[in-house]
Structure 1
Amino acid sequence: MKRIKLEVAYDGTAYCGWQIQPGQPTVEAELNRALTQLLGEDIAVIGASRTDSGVHALGNVAVFDTESRIPAEKICLALNQRLPEDIRVQTSVQVPGDFHPRRIESRKTYEYRILNRSIALPTQRLYACHIYYDMDLSKMQAAAGYLVGEHDFKSFCSVKTQALDTVRTIYRLTAGRDGDTITISVTGNGFLYNMVRIIAGTLIEVGRGAYPPEKVKDILQAYDRNYAGPTAPAQGLTLVRIEYP
């Protein structure tokens, strides 16, 4: 028996998130189906990040165990022939049998894309959040600074979260502009349910002048979801990479 780690990219538009849901299309279900077909074994992957419906990924991570003799590095090529075109495994490598993608310390990087122009672009509707009003990037950058470090992010997670511990560490949080596109990039040791989208929604509120950057300090200290900005739409969010020691 050997354990294989996959790096998975996908367009999340057609899926009800990563995690298996009865009767619904999910990325995890497609991987399990394709792997079971390829290897002739009943395969169930373990994913690192259970992304929400409509969220995309360039580098999510999953592992599975197999008795197959197919070389680990060749599994991704054979697997991609059995996956829908909106899911592609980028790499497949053998890892130690005790490697668990959610229990090992890691750094996750997400990006949230905002199309900031008066009229939306149809080609971007599934991959960015359209904001038509002017955005003050310098205020967004100032607000982002208050969130870097170790904090209790209870104000920045969904009330539906099942996490008992809401303390997380953000190593880097930036907002930059390239033409009409504003990209919020965040790297942390883990994220609560909807945390990145709520951070994005809060920075958008700051950018449009709804409240000053320093209010983010008060939001953090409120420990109450009602104080933060709205949850930004899912389509703007992409899981870029997960880094392990």
Structure 2
Amino acid sequence: MPRYALQIEYDGRPFCGWQAQAGLPAVQDAIETALARLEPDLPRIAAAGRTDTGVHATGQVAHCDMARDWSPFRLMEALNHHLRPLPVAVRACALADSEFHARFSAHERRYLFRLLTRRAPPTFDAGRVWHIKHKLDLGAMRDAAAHLIGLHDFTTFRASQCQAASPVKTLDALEIALVEGLSGVEIQFRLRARSFLHNQVRSIVGTLERVGAGAWAPEDVKTALEARDRAACGPVSPPDGLYLTGVGYARDPFAG
């Protein structure tokens, strides 16, 4: 069976997340339903990351095995036709090696978190940014974020129901920048790692927001990290502003 890599974007608001769950709408179900319109009885698809309820993606990657040969362009077009009117689209499709696995072949995941700071509620970006009304100290948040870069036990910053075998992860990058967005000035957090724990990004951003608001000192984040205790974490940010923006592979199936 030929294997295809799919680069997928979606608005996470109508979904319970990526992973199929009985009785709930999932992005995985939407893709598999579209695939079933092309060929029946296909194997289940796999994705690089299991995004949670309300989390968005611009660069999710999944793979599917088809019974017959499709040109990648025709497969992409056919899937997008059958995905309408759901807020899901296949941005790219490529024929992949039979050993390629969207999850297990990945060596990097990249996330973006958008935080909008203005008094008025967002209209165009409602549900796509975390809206807060107060200003934040960008320098203090950057100082705090520096304590999280590198190899650490991230027990403090993972959900209690996280199923990862180990809380030890390497956070390769955590960049914080001011960006002029459609709805005004945003603070954008860009994070990069081989893999992330359940709720790790939202836990980090929620904690850094407390630093920016002046409720925490930057050093308090280091103390919380070293506590290795979920109770030491700051509030968890809502999913609205979180996006899976890209996945890295040693042999990128979409290159060229």
Distance 1:84 1:168 in 2: 38
Letter in 1 for 2:140: K
Within-5 A mapping of 1:1-12: 1-12=1-12
Q: Given that residues 42 and 67 in structure 2 are in contact (C-alpha distance below 8 angstroms), is that contact kept between their aligned partners in structure 1? A: no
For 1:31, the equivalent position in structure 2 comes to 31
Gapped runs of 5+ residues in structure 1?
A: none
Moved more, 166-175 or 69-78: 69-78
Q: Given that residues 155 and 167 in structure 2 are in contact (C-alpha distance below 8 angstroms), is that contact kept between their aligned partners in structure 1? A: yes
Cα distance, 1:35–1:244 mapped onto 2, change above 3 Å: same
For 1:186, the equivalent position in structure 2 comes to 191
For 1:219, the equivalent position in structure 2 comes to 224
TM-score normalised according to structure 2 size: 0.92
SS in 2 for 1:174: strand
For 1:13, the equivalent position in structure 2 comes to 13
Q: Given that residues 48 and 106 in structure 2 are in contact (C-alpha distance below 8 angstroms), is that contact kept between their aligned partners in structure 1? A: no
For 1:66, the equivalent position in structure 2 comes to 66
Distance 1:71 1:41 in 2: 20
Distance 1:213 1:97 in 2: 47
**Do residues 109 (structure 1) and 110 (structure 2) align?**
yes
Distance 1:235 1:162 in 2: 23
**Do residues 203 (structure 1) and 208 (structure 2) align?**
yes
Deviation readout 1:10-56 (Å, 9 max, x if unpaired): 01111110000111111000111100111234341111101001100
Distance 1:138 1:120 in 2: 25
Q: Give the % identical residues.
A: 36
Aligned-pair RMSD on alpha carbons?
Answer: 1.2
- Deviation for aligned residue 1:174: 1.1
Letter in 2 for 1:193: H
Q: Which runs of 4+ in 1 moved over 3 A?
A: none
Gapped runs of 5+ residues in structure 2?
A: 251-256
TM-score normalised according to structure 1 size: 0.96
Within-5 A mapping of 1:1-245: 1-85=1-85, 86-179=87-180, 180-245=185-250
